[in-house]
Chains A and B, each alone.
Chain A
Amino acid sequence: MKQKKDSLYFYVSVIFSLGVLAYSAWLILSSVLSYNEGQTESFYYSLILGLIGIALSISSLLTMRRRIQIIKTQSLKTLTTEICEKCNFKRVREFKAGDYINKKTEPCPQCKADLAISMIYKESPKE
């Protein structure tokens, strides 16, 4: 429930920032038109507002991007690799408390010899 609320908040923030970005770009464009028409005060007004809007929306989008990267890193799983030394059967599963390297776990599903944990590692984030 909380996760749903968080992702809704995230999407609303992204849409809002993109909206501000688009409106700011339109303001800068209209400031150029005002300058061509000789409306100096309207030019200054739109240009300053447009620049502030662009700076704020880009900063907000960059912060969100950073947050996504942090969340991605935090959600990476730790994996355990089990290997049968007799028939080379290999199985990768999620880490369970109590796992450790060289621990004999259960009989190999292929040859019934012991499976042993050979590696425990944290997934790498996808590039």
Chain B
Amino acid sequence: MLDWLSALGITGTDSSGLSTIVSTLMYLSFIFFILFGQKIQLYTMIWNMSGALKKLEFMKNDAKALTIKTLIELGKPKEDPIPRISGLLEAFFITPVDMDPAGIVWKLDHLMDVRDNKFKDDVKRLAPEADNAQVNNLENLVEGSLALNTIYRIVRHFYLLGKKTQSFYLILQLQMILPLVMQEAEALVGATKAFAQGQPIGDGLGPLVVSKLMKDKEKRKVEKDVVVSELTMDGRNIIALKAEGPGGNVGKPGDAIKQLIKEREGKVDMVIMIDAAVKFEGEKTGGISEGTGAAIGGIGTERFKIEEEASKNKIPVYAIIVKESLQEAIMPMKKEISESADNVITKIKGLIQEQTKEGQTIIVAGIGNTIGVGQ
């Protein structure tokens, strides 16, 4: 190295030659980055994305393998399930046209029912030996794999499109949301493992609270996959409802609440909804908040039904939520969330003592996926 520098006339004693080279290199690199800076950034982003895409591909293959293994173990299919599962993982849903929004809720509700029934039938056919709870868990498992497969396909689409068109802004948009997408995908991998084993997930907090209320009480089934128990608490009549477990199921609490209010000819004095809700970063998992309104997620059809029936009969709707992140909601239930169930019951007692009188009727609805939670 030193010989080479000496040959160029840059000796150890004279440093002016070396500083000329350094300053020339700096000028050249400055010009180089002006001309090719964005291209270099583009290739760096494409390189990062290709790593993320490989990770996503591994995750979706892992989830698919777990789905097939669980289906074979629980359902004992007579023929090879792989082609049908591959078909299910590409399933899609077309939402109704919203140019004329009047009546769209019922159209959406109907289309969702068709989709859910078709999905359940397909899973049942794939797993003829599985019982009802296992079919529900398998359905959730296939849904988890489908979500992972969809994420992989979308990310791959934009990655290849960006690479093909060399569009900096196309790649930049994907790069910006990639950390959130990866978080979601990692949570879905956790969810598929929980569904395969029938473990409760963070979203099951609502059904967990209600299962504690309805323990050892008589139960009856109402609208689609919902169970109801009647009990008394501090002299008030409580109608507790949750989706039927322990299979993975959210039921149709909107229809159930509507039916219960109709059965009592509108004589219900309060509706309390218990659900897991997304926390802000920095908030503590398992923290409880009280509010008003129908606490229920999903596409909105169930919330619409509850709001409509409650406003028709002038019934106040209260909500108690337990805070958790979007990832915690679909991953196996954390201890802090599980332990918050007793505190929620204390809150319910406080709420009914403050807002109702003895002898009044209150509906307590536990909203969420009841996987791993019996009644």
Contacts and interface: CB of A to CB of B under 8 A. Distances in A.
Interaction A to B: yes
Interface of A: 39-41, 44-45, 78, 95, 97-103, 119-124
Given A99-B198, A122-B199, 15 more contacts: A40-B12, A40-B15, A40-B18, A97-B197, A98-B198, A100-B372, A101-B200, A101-B245, A101-B246, A119-B339, A120-B333, A121-B332, A121-B337, A122-B331, A122-B334
Interface residues of B, number: 30
B84 to A, nearest CB: 24
Interface of B: 1-2, 5, 10, 12, 15, 18, 22, 197-200, 208, 211, 215, 245-246, 331-339, 372-375
B260 to A, nearest CB: 22
Given A41-B15, A124-B336, A101 B22 contact: no
A40 B198 CA distance: 68
Given A41-B15, A44-B18, A44-B22, A78 B332 contact: yes
A44 B1 CA distance: 13
Given A120-B199, A121-B332, A101 B18 contact: no
Instruction: Determine which residue in B12, B198, B208, B372 has the highest number of CB atoms from chain A within 10 A of its CB, and name it.
Output: B372
A100 B331 CA distance: 16
B211 to A, nearest CB: 6
Instruction: Determine which residue in B1, B12, B331 has the highest number of CB atoms from chain A within 10 A of its CB, and name it.
Output: B12
B372 A120 contact: yes
B197 A124 contact: no
A121 B335 contact: yes
Nearest to A116: B215
Contact of B199 (A40, A78, A103, A123): A78
Nearest to B328: A122
Contact of A102 (B2, B199, B211, B335): B211
Contacts of A120: 199-200, 333, 338, 372
A39 B338 contact: no
A45 to B, nearest CB: 8
Contacts of B245: 100-101
Contacts of B197: 78, 95, 97
A58 B1 CA distance: 28
A41 B372 contact: no
Contact of A103 (B1, B18, B22, B374): B374
A102 B22 contact: no
Nearest to A79: B335
Contacts of B339: 119
